[in-house]
């Protein structure tokens, strides 16, 4: 779809914004807008908004806490409420939880250490607009690189997430102590996904694998067929 | 500048939320040879200097909307006398 229009938000301290923009441009095509955190408005007609990884505002206060209150996030929250597809990866996931767009919180890894390696995931929900080109239960390999990826929510919230199929990805190995091995969660409407692993770092064979590619293709296909 | 009052906002993890940092600190305390410490929880202290126009309600809102993440944390606000 040549008219596919996306935006990658850059916060001070984002460091995966260019990788994200390149991945979206390569896989989805169309126009990838680069948007600064201080912008109060987003380009018109966006199909897809991505919040990249990094260490926005130096992780001051809590990871993602400052970025979640930046001017552009008011526009992202408004776009999400209209049903625009929003992906947050790593720090982007932390920003989405801090902004209240996704339930739960991301705490310091249970093992204290920063974890930076390829990890095995299973696709827990293959019906979402982010995962429709994966198979349910499919095992994929995607890298993680984070210090605060330990997903926490209270038991009632976790039960609801599981009951409503809002867990998108689970770790297939011990990574960071996340509740119920949750690596990625959807909002109730299904248009917002947050995940700690970096699909944008696995979109072509030169990356060492391309298991992340289907996520972007799923987003694109969902918009074409919508 | 109007007279400032010091306000302390104590942010702590809720009961039941695992605290990997507290556990690591606990381990390090034991590594120093201290015994008898049963548990360690790490929190955060944020000090504000505010003038008299800042109401308790406003302080509460600052804490609830930014200083603490109420999914995992509680907060307590204390105005320091003098």
Give the distance from CA A16 to its chain's centroid. Answer: 12
Whole-angstrom distance, CA of residue B79 vs CA of residue B1:
19
Contact (Cβ atoms closer than 8 angstroms) between residue A103 and residue A157: yes
Prediction ipTM score = 0.86
Question: Does B66 contact chain A (CB < 8 Å)?
Answer: yes
For chain B, the structural domain boundaries read 4-80
CB burial readout A71-92, b (16+ within 10 A) else e: ebbebbbebbeeebbbbbbbbb
Specify the DSSP class assigned to residue A43.
-
- The beta-strand segments (E) located in chain A are 5-10, 31-36, 48-51, 85-89, 105-107, 115-123, 139-146, 150-152, 167-171, 182-186, 192-195
Residues A68, A172, A166, B13, Cα dihedral to 10°: -50
Note the pLDDT of residue A1: 45
Q: What residue has token string 């959807």?
A: A186
Q: How far apart are CA A153 and CA A2, in angstroms?
A: 39
**Parallel, antiparallel, or unpaired for β A139-146 and A115-123?**
antiparallel
Residue with tokens 């038991």: A155
Cβ–Cβ of A62/B21 closer than 8 Å? Answer: no
Residues of A in contact with B69 (CB under 8 A): 62, 65, 98, 105
pLDDT at B82: 63
Q: Of B19, B69, B70, B73, which to mutate for an interface test with A (greatest number of A Cβ within 10 Å)? A: B69
d(CA B39, CA B25): 10
Chain A residue with Cα closest to B16: A154
Residue A15 and residue B54: Cα distance in Å, rounded?
37
Active site residue A90: yes
**Alpha carbon A9 to its chain's center:** 12
Beta-ladder partners of A123: A169
Determine, for residues B20 and A97 on separate chains, whether the beta-carbon distance falls below 8 Å.
no
Residue boundaries of the structural domains of chain A:
5-225
The Cα–Cα gap between B63 and B5 comes to: 17
**8-state DSSP, A17:** H
A interface mutation test: which of B19, B70, B71 has the most A CBs within 10 A?
B71
As assigned by CATH, the class of the B4-80 domain is: alpha beta
Predicted local confidence at residue B33, as pLDDT: 97
Does the CA dihedral A11-A218-A186-A200 come out positive or negative?
Answer: negative
Distance from CA of B55 to the nearest CA of A (A): 22
Q: Evaluate the CA torsion angle A48, A53, A55, A60 in order and state its sign.
A: positive
Burial of A144 (0-12, 13-18, 19+ CB in 10 A): buried
Per-residue pLDDT of chain B (82 residues; tens, 9 = 90+): 778 899 999 999 999 898 988 999 999 999 999 999 999 999 999 999 999 999 999 999 999 999 999 999 999 999 997 6
Could you name the CATH architecture of A5-225? 3-Layer(aba) Sandwich (3.40)
Q: What is the 3-state secondary structure (H, E, C) of A61-117?
A: CCCCHHHHCCHHHHHHHHHHHCCCEEEEECHHHHHHHHCCCCCCEEECCCCCCCEEE
| Chain A contact present for B21, CB below 8 A | yes
| Tens-binned pLDDT, residue by residue, of chain A (226 aa) | 458 999 999 999 999 999 999 999 999 999 999 999 999 999 999 999 999 999 999 999 999 999 999 999 999 999 999 999 999 999 999 999 999 999 999 999 998 899 999 999 999 999 999 999 999 999 999 999 999 999 999 999 999 999 999 999 999 999 999 999 999 999 999 999 999 999 999 999 999 999 999 999 999 998 876 5
């Amino acid at each position: 779809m040549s008219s596919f229009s996306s935006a990658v938000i850059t916060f001070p301290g984002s460091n995966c914004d260019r990788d994200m923009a390149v991945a979206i441009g390569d896989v989805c095509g169309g126009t990838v807008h680069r948007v600064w955190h201080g912008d109060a408005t987003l380009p018109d007609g966006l199909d897809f908004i991505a919040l990249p990884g990094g260490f926005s505002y130096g992780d001051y206060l809590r990871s993602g806490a400052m970025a979640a209150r930046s001017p552009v996030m008011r526009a992202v929250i408004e776009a999400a409420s209209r049903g625009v597809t929003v992906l947050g990866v790593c720090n982007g996931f932390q920003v989405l939880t801090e902004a209240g767009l996704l339930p739960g919180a991301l705490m310091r890894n249970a093992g204290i250490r920063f974890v930076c390696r390829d990890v095995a995931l299973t696709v827990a929900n293959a019906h979402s607009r982010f995962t429709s080109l994966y198979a349910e239960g499919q095992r994929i390999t995607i890298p993680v690189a984070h210090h605060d990826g330990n997903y926490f929510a209270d038991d009632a919230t976790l039960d609801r997430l599981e009951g409503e199929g809002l867990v998108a990805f689970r770790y297939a190995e011990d990574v960071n102590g996340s509740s119920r091995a949750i690596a990625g969660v959807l909002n109730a409407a299904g248009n917002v996904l947050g995940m700690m692993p970096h699909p944008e770092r696995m979109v072509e064979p030169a990356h060492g694998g391309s298991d992340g590619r289907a996520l972007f293709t799923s987003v694109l296909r969902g918009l074409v067929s919508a | 500048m109007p007279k400032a009052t010091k306000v302390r906002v104590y942010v702590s993890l809720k009961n039941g939320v695992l605290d990997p940092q507290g556990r690591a600190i606990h381990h390090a305390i034991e590594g120093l040879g201290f015994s008898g410490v049963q548990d360690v929880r790490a929190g955060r202290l944020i000090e504000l200097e505010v003038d008299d126009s800042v109401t308790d309600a406003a302080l509460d809102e600052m804490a609830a909307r930014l200083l603490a993440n109420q999914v995992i944390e509680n907060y307590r606000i204390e105005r320091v006398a003098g």
